[in-house]
Structure formats: C-alpha cells, structure tokens
C-alpha cells in the first residue's frame, strides 16, 4: 500500500554529468527537492542552469550520475505514464487528429475502446477543443496545440505533469490565457505540476513554491514557499515585492557567471 506520508517526488543529492567533446560538463550538482502531492512547483533560473535536466531526470528520460530520484519512494528508472511531459514545441503526432493524439496513450495501454472515447471526450472538453476534435495539428494555432499536449498527458492518467517552458513560444495574450486555464485544470484535477520557466512573473503567478537555480553547474539556490492568495494580482505590492526579490537573485547569478 502507498505511504501517503511520503512526497510524491523526492530528488536526493542528484548530480548529472555529460561528456562533450572529451570534456565532462556538470549540468546539475547535488540537487535535492521534495514535492508533495498536489503542489504546483516552478523551477526558475538562467539558461543552462540545469532546470530542464532536473525535469528530464524526474521524467525518467535521463539517469542521474549520482544521487537518486524517487516517485512514491520507488526509484525512477525510466519514463512512465504517471509522469507526463509537456514540451515547448508541443511534440504532437502530425498525422493524428486532436482526438487521436489525446487518446494515443490510453489506446497504447490497451484500454477498452469505450473508456478511451469517454476519457478523450472529457479532456477535449476540459481544454475547450470540442469544435476541433477531428482537426490535425497543422490546422491549429500554437495555443490550441499546447492545449492538446496538456490534454494528452492528462488522458494518460498522469499524477505528475512536467512542463518544460510550455508557453515560451506563444504570444503574450495566448500565454496569459493558457496560464489561467492551466491553473483551472490544476485546481480541478489536484495534479502535481513541475513547471520550468525563465520568466519571474510567470513563476510567481503559478506556483505554490518557486525553486531558484544557479547557473552551471546547476544547483538549487533557494526554495521559496509563496503565501500569496489566489487568484494573484500582478499589480499588488506583495506580488511585486516578491518579483523584485526573485529578480535580484537571478541577476546576481548572471553576474557571477559573467565574472
């Protein structure tokens, strides 16, 4: 039986080294992070600080060089449906419709056809794409494609959703709308979300906790629990005080790397 006292994700002293042209590059150094079920965590830091590497280790796409990452106390040894990944470039199958992209995981796992259909319909409705269920990815806007990518992870019954700068390629208005929709989905499903971003405002808007990372080798500099009420007001003094504090930390890291 699952021990609900455990964190859903537990990263313990993880280091990741890559070999590049005969040199060892330390992408991540001694990172530890406990994530409780239902939390919304943002990882923030400069490019090359190891955010995406840490996310890929949690996903099971990369193995640590040292340390370990666990889900419900069990070592993560490869990708699994319980941990779904949403990428910036959508990663949809271009030859499949919206409905078939969303239903791909359940179908591959051998779910009964009726259950696949019911699950797919539920998440198509959740992301507001009923009118586009039979469209192909090239017929959709960037925001719609990202909704499909999110729905595909949800339909796979993921417990943890890992998001690697998913709104980075979108225009400002679409990005704001999808941020609101993601928060609505998170509240409705009680998912655990780990969201990588380089945008301070986005990190604070979305998260229960903002994890700040330092550049190469990537380390966790601070883990900041936010006590801001939701929905959050980007113009409030409290929000902007946190934004100034986070921004100053990130700028100080830039300075250290440049030196």
Lowest mean per-residue pLDDT among 122-126, 224-228, 233-237, 255-259:
255-259
- What domains can you pick out in the chain, each with its CATH number? 9-82+159-258 (3.40.50.300)
Cis amide prior to 217 (ω within 30 degrees): yes
Distance separating alpha carbons of residues 28 and 216, to the nearest angstrom: 7
The per-residue pLDDT for 258 is 40
51 with 194: CB under 8 angstroms? no
Average pLDDT rounded to a whole number, residues 136-156: 93
The per-residue pLDDT for 202 is 94
Question: What does the pLDDT look like over 39-81, one tens digit per residue?
Answer: 999 999 887 788 999 999 999 999 999 999 999 999 999 999 9
Distance separating alpha carbons of residues 234 and 218, to the nearest angstrom: 29
| DSSP 3-state of 10 | strand
Edge to edge, what strands does the sheet with 83-86 contain?
83-86, 160-164, 192-197, 40-44, 209-214, 219-225
Residue 2 has pLDDT above 70, yes or no: no
Confidence of residue 16 (pLDDT cuts 50, 70, 90): very high
Axis-axis angle for helices 172-189, 142-155 (nearest 10): 20
Shortest CA distance to 166 belongs to which of 200, 137, 138, 202?
A: 202
242 with 42: CB under 8 angstroms? no
The tokens describing 155, both together, are 């339909």
Residue 259 has pLDDT above 60, yes or no: no
The per-residue pLDDT for 140 is 95
218 with 53: CB under 8 angstroms? yes
Global pTM?
0.91
| Helix runs in 111-236, H state only | 113-126, 142-155, 172-189, 200-206
């Amino acid at each position: 039986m699952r021990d609900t006292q455990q964190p859903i994700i537990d990263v313990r002293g993880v280091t990741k080294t890559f070999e590049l042209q005969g040199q060892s590059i330390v992408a991540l150094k001694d990172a530890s992070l406990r994530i409780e079920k239902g939390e919304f965590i943002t990882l923030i830091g400069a490019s090359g600080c190891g955010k995406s590497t840490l996310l890929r280790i949690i996903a099971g796409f990369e193995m640590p060089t040292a340390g370990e990452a666990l889900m419900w106390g069990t070592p993560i040894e490869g990708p699994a449906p319980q941990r779904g990944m949403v990428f910036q470039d959508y990663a949809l199958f271009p030859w499949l419709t919206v409905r078939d992209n969303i239903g791909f995981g359940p179908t591959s796992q051998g779910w009964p056809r009726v259950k696949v259909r019911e699950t797919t319909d539920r998440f198509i409705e959740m992301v507001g794409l009923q009118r586009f269920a039979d469209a192909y990815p090239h017929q959709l806007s960037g925001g719609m494609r990202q909704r499909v990518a999110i729905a595909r992870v949800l339909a796979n019954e993921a417990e943890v959703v890992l998001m690697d700068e998913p709104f980075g390629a979108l225009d400002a208005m679409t990005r704001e709308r999808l941020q609101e929709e993601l928060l609505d989905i998170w509240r409705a499903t009680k998912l655990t979300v780990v969201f990588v971003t380089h945008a301070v405002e986005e990190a604070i808007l979305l998260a229960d906790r903002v994890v700040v990372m330092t550049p190469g080798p990537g380390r966790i500099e601070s883990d900041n629990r936010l006590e801001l009420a939701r929905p959050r007001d980007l113009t409030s003094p409290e929000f902007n005080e946190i934004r100034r504090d986070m921004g100053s930390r990130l700028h100080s890291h830039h300075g250290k790397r440049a030196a």
